[in-house]
């Protein structure tokens, strides 16, 4: 039964992906990409990767779709021009690459094989020892925040850098007229007159934020953690900005504070590592943070997950507001 669900979902994904090749309308492409991500998220649940599914659903189907739509409104024409170039070359290259890779799969262990090499090295240790060493039921959180804390620090720095990059590319407004300051002419002007949407969404926003906090602090015990919580929290702000316009969103949550939080999260993460050094341990070794190693791990994970959540939320809000604040191209 589960194999059938798996196969059906894979087929839906391939069919959706084929749409990317044949559909020329870019708005349709962005929506298709949301469907694609949501199907992938369902598939991850089938494959026991609940944390990954959570992230994919929040990021791929949520934030990425909104960002794609905002970017599209800035690039003007939603339809792609028909290409005059021959597609035979790329087609052959793709087929060749595919054939080589398919050939390589015959050496791969079967799907779900417990004897596969991937399950033989560090994974058994994470599964057997993390309960005693870290004391956190969610193994994914233990690995993410503690065993592979360096990795995660690197990823957070990448997200921080990407947000700074978007700010550097689009952040400068060339002509700050009174009109643009009020938000008119920017990509997101808000939906005036849509009373039902505004009232119902206003009710939704606090619950989204509360859910974000739950995901943040319950990530040790169930699926969730800083990455997902940050994205969900940012989604609440983005929904507000979509409905009431970016100029009002900027008044609610000032870009200065968001940028401060963006840097603060990374610094908090790195600072926990330095605190470990000062207390006589290794960098990002949480055992020394409290009198008891397991308590130290709990404290360390709580702090760095908070840092991750802060940076991810601030990065997503910054990216969205920067896109939305950019001047829309003149109509041709």
Q: Which of 8, 38, 42, 116 binds other proteins (CB under 8 A)?
A: 116
Measured over the CA atoms of residue 267, residue 269, residue 270 and residue 274, the dihedral's sign is positive
User: Could you tell me the smallest distance in angstroms from the CB atom of residue 252 to other proteins?
Assistant: 22
Return the residues of window 34-73 that contact other proteins according to CB under 8 A. 36-37, 40, 43-44, 47-52, 55-56, 59-60, 63-64, 67-68, 71-72
Measured over the CA atoms of residue 232, residue 238, residue 244 and residue 248, the dihedral's sign is positive
What x/- string results for residues 71 through 90 when contact with other proteins is judged by CB under 8 A? Answer: xx-xxxx--xx-xxx-x--x
User: Could you tell me the smallest distance in angstroms from the CB atom of residue 38 to other proteins?
Assistant: 11
Is residue 269 helix, strand or coil?
helix
What x/- string results for residues 232 through 271 when contact with other proteins is judged by CB under 8 A? Answer: ----------------------------------------
Return the residues of window 10-39 that contact other proteins according to CB under 8 A. 10, 13-14, 17-18, 20-21, 26, 29-30, 33, 36-37
Residue 292 engages other proteins in binding (rule: CB under 8 A): no
Identify any residues that bridge with 25 across adjacent strands, giving them in sequence order.
79
CB-wise, 59 or 302, nearer to other proteins? 59
Residue 6 engages other proteins in binding (rule: CB under 8 A): yes
Residue 1 engages other proteins in binding (rule: CB under 8 A): no
Return the residues of window 194-223 that contact other proteins according to CB under 8 A. 221-223
Burial group, residue 71, by CB count within 10 angstroms (0-12, 13-18, 19+) = middle
What is the spatial distance between Cα 168 and Cα 313, in angstroms, rounded to a whole number? 19
User: Could you tell me the smallest distance in angstroms from the CB atom of residue 171 to other proteins?
Assistant: 9
Long-range contact set of residues 69-72: C-beta below 8 Å, sequence gap at least 24: 69/27, 69/30, 70/187, 70/188, 70/320, 70/323, 70/324, 71/323, 72/26, 72/27, 72/30
Q: Which of 91, 150, 185, 248 binds other proteins (CB under 8 A)?
A: 91
Residue 231 engages other proteins in binding (rule: CB under 8 A): yes
Note the Cα 120 to chain centre separation in Å.
29
CB-wise, 93 or 213, nearer to other proteins? 93
User: Could you tell me the smallest distance in angstroms from the CB atom of residue 23 to other proteins?
Assistant: 9
Nearest to 308 by CA among 273, 268, 254: 268
Rg for the chain, CA atoms, rounded: 23
User: Could you tell me the smallest distance in angstroms from the CB atom of residue 4 to other proteins?
Assistant: 9
Token pair in block for residue 173: 């407004």
What is the spatial distance between Cα 302 and Cα 294, in angstroms, rounded to a whole number? 12
* Count, residues near other proteins per rule CB under 8 A: 106
Number of CB atoms found within 10 A of residue 155's CB: 16
Binding segment toward other proteins, per CB under 8 A, in 206-214, 268-276, 288-296, 321-329:
321-329
Return the residues of window 154-183 that contact other proteins according to CB under 8 A. 155, 158-159, 162-163, 165-166, 169-170
User: Could you tell me the smallest distance in angstroms from the CB atom of residue 203 to other proteins?
Assistant: 27
What is the spatial distance between Cα 72 and Cα 248, in angstroms, rounded to a whole number? 22
Contact predicate 130/142, CB 8 Å: yes
Residue 188 engages other proteins in binding (rule: CB under 8 A): no
Residue 185 engages other proteins in binding (rule: CB under 8 A): no
User: Could you tell me the smallest distance in angstroms from the CB atom of residue 290 to other proteins?
Assistant: 21
Burial group, residue 31, by CB count within 10 angstroms (0-12, 13-18, 19+) = middle
């Amino acid at each position: 039964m589960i194999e059938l669900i798996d196969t059906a979902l894979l087929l839906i994904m391939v069919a959706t992906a084929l749409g990317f090749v044949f559909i020329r309308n870019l708005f349709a492409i962005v929506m298709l990409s949301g469907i694609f991500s949501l199907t992938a998220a369902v598939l991850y649940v089938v494959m026991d990767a609940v944390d990954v599914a959570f992230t994919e659903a929040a990021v791929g189907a949520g934030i990425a779709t909104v960002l794609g739509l905002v970017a599209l409104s800035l690039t003007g024409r939603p339809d792609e021009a028909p290409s005059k170039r021959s597609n035979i070359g790329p087609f052959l290259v793709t087929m060749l690459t595919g054939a080589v890779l398919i050939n390589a799969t015959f050496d791969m262990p079967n799907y779900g094989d417990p004897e596969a090499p991937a399950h033989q090295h560090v994974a058994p240790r994470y599964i057997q020892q993390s309960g005693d060493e870290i004391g956190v039921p969610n193994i994914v959180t233990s690995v993410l925040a503690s065993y592979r804390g360096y990795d995660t620090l690197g990823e957070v720095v990448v997200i921080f850098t990407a947000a700074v990059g978007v700010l550097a590319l689009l952040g400068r407004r060339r002509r700050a007229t009174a009109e643009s300051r009020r938000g008119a002419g920017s990509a997101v002007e808000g939906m005036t007159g849509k009373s039902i949407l505004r009232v119902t969404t206003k009710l939704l926003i606090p619950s989204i934020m509360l859910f974000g906090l739950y995901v943040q602090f319950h990530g040790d015990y169930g699926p969730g953690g800083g990455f997902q919580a940050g994205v969900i929290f940012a989604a609440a702000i983005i929904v507000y900005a979509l409905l009431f316009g970016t100029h009002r969103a900027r008044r609610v949550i000032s870009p200065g504070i968001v940028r401060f939080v963006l840097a603060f999260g990374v610094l908090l993460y790195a600072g926990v590592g330095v605190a470990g050094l000062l207390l006589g341990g290794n960098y990002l070794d949480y055992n020394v943070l409290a009198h008891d190693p397991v308590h130290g791990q709990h404290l360390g994970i709580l702090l760095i997950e908070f840092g991750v959540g802060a940076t991810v939320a601030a990065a997503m809000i910054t990216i969205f507001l920067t896109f939305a604040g950019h001047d829309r191209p003149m109509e041709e």
